[in-house]
Amino acid sequence: MNGKKIPPYLLVIVGGTGDLARRKLLPAICRLREKNLSEFYLIGAGTGKKHNDLTYRDFVARSLEEEGVDIGAMGDSFDWLYYHSVGGGSVEEYKSLADRVAELEKKLNLSGNRVFYLAVPPSVFPNAIKNIGEVGLNKSAGEIKLVVEKPFGQDLQSARELNALVHKYFDESQIYRIDHYLGKETVQNLLAFRFSNAMFESLWNRDRIERVEITVAETVGVEHRAGYYDRVGALRDMIQNHLTQLLTLIAMEVPTALEADDVRHEKVKVLRAVSPISTDEVIFGQYTRGAVQGKEAASYTEEEGISKESHTETFVALKLNISNWRWQGVPFVLRTGKRLFKGITEVAITFRRPPVSIFRQFSIKDIQPNKLVMTLQPNEGFDLFFKVKEPGDSYKLSTQSLHFEYSEVFGRIPDAYETLLLDVLRGDQTLFVRADEVEASWELYTPLLSHSFDVYNYASGTWGPEEAEQLLDGEKWCTM
224 belongs to the catalytic site: no
151 preceded by cis ω (within 30°)? yes
Enumerate the domain spans of the chain: 6-149, 182-414+441-472
pLDDT for 71 equals 67
Q: What is the pTM of this model?
A: 0.90
Which range is most confident: 75-84, 221-230, 242-251?
242-251
Distance CA 231, CA 237 (A): 10
| pLDDT for 358 beyond 80 | no
Q: Which of 134, 26, 45, 150 is nearest to 88 (CA)?
A: 45
* For residue 171, pLDDT beyond 60: yes
Radius of gyration for the alpha carbons in the chain, expressed in angstroms and rounded: 24
Amino acid at 372: L
Distances (CA, A) of 246 to 182, 215, 301, 397: 8, 10, 30, 33
CATH top-level class of 6-149? alpha beta
What is residue 353's predicted lDDT score, i.e. its pLDDT? 82
Other CB atoms within 10 A of residue 119 CB? 24
C-alpha triplet 188, 192, 198: angle, nearest 5°: 155
> pLDDT value at position 115?
96
Taken in order 113, 81, 72, 64, is the CA torsion positive or negative?
negative
The pLDDT of residue 69 is above 80: no
Identify the burial level of 320 via C-beta atoms within 10 angstroms of its C-beta, where 0-12 means exposed, 13-18 middle and 19 or more buried.
Answer: buried
Instruction: Provide mean pLDDT across the span 353-357.
Output: 73
Q: From CA 347, how far away is CA 336, in angstroms rounded?
A: 12
**How far is CA 289 from its chain centroid?**
28
Point out the least confidently predicted range of 261-275, 354-368, 380-394, 437-451. Answer: 354-368
- Which letter does DSSP use for residue 87 in this model? T
Q: Average pLDDT of 357-372?
A: 73
pLDDT for residue 4 is more than 60: no
pLDDT at position 2 is 47
* Given 84, 180, 242, 403, the catalytic residue: 242
**What's the mean pLDDT when you consider all of the chain?**
89
Question: Quick check: 75 pLDDT over 60?
Answer: no
Please give the class, per CATH, of domain 182-414+441-472. Answer: alpha beta
Taking every pair of C-alpha atoms in the chain, what is the biggest distance, in angstroms?
Answer: 84
